[in-house]
Amino acid sequence: MIAVVLALTLYGCGEKKVVVPEIFRVKFETSQGDMVVEANRSWAPHGVDRFHELVRMGYFTQGRFFRVVPQFVVQFGVHRDYDVHTVWRNLFIIDDPPQQKNVVGTLAFAQSGKNTRATEIFINLNDNAILDEQGFVPFAKVVEGLDVLNKLYAGYGELRPTGKFIDPGAMEEGGNAYLVPRFPKLDYIKRATILK
């Protein structure tokens, strides 16, 4: 119950409606340096609105880059506190029609089917046409610090069962309590802030 109350509080119940700019930039301060992302509502309005909401509430602070696959993707977006993530991972947003391609430096929400985007985001490290075919919709792009992504620790590789280290189910249920002690080399987001 505490987690539900916390998540709904973070979700913005009771606060004034926030008008999301059509285009805005977010600075990610990471353990390997800073990068700036530009989000564009014309690419994916539902995705951009959720991204703005998550950044605004500090959702990504101390979150790990838990999936780093060179020449493919970097993924993040599991909240450090599993109680919060447990609620938010079920607060789905509806799909946006694709407007852009999954090319190097673009960001898209992970999904497991129709209308299942929630909090997890990946950044393309390559031109991934296969992700276009699978319906992943870019909503933003890295405009500064793209080289930071190539510095992120990739030794744990792909998630299980394809990979052999990080168990996605255990990560979803444990957050940083699962990731940090078992995978100490993972890089992380110190904080993400909307630039004025």
pLDDT bucket at 196, cuts 50 / 70 / 90: confident
4-19: pLDDT as tens digits:
444 444 444 445 688 9
Average pLDDT value for residue range 24-35: 98
pLDDT of residue 1: 35
pLDDT of residue 2: 38
Residue 118 has pLDDT above 50, yes or no: yes
Q: What's the mean pLDDT when you consider all of the chain?
A: 93
Domains of the chain: 2-11+19-194 (2.40.100.10)
pLDDT of residue 8: 46
Average pLDDT value for residue range 110-122: 97
pLDDT of residue 16: 66
- Residues sharing a CB contact under 8 Å with residue 54, sequence separation 6 or more, in sequence order: 60, 77, 119
pLDDT of residue 9: 46
56-66: pLDDT as tens digits:
999 999 999 99
Residue 27 has pLDDT above 60, yes or no: yes
Q: What percent of the chain has pLDDT over 70?
A: 92
pLDDT of residue 26: 98
In three-state form (DSSP H/G/I as H, E/B as E, the rest C), the secondary structure along 29-75 is EECCEEEEEEEECCCCHHHHHHHHHHHHCCCCCCCECCEEECCCEEE
Widest CA span in the chain: 45
Q: Hunting for tokens 């999954």 — which residue is that? A: 102
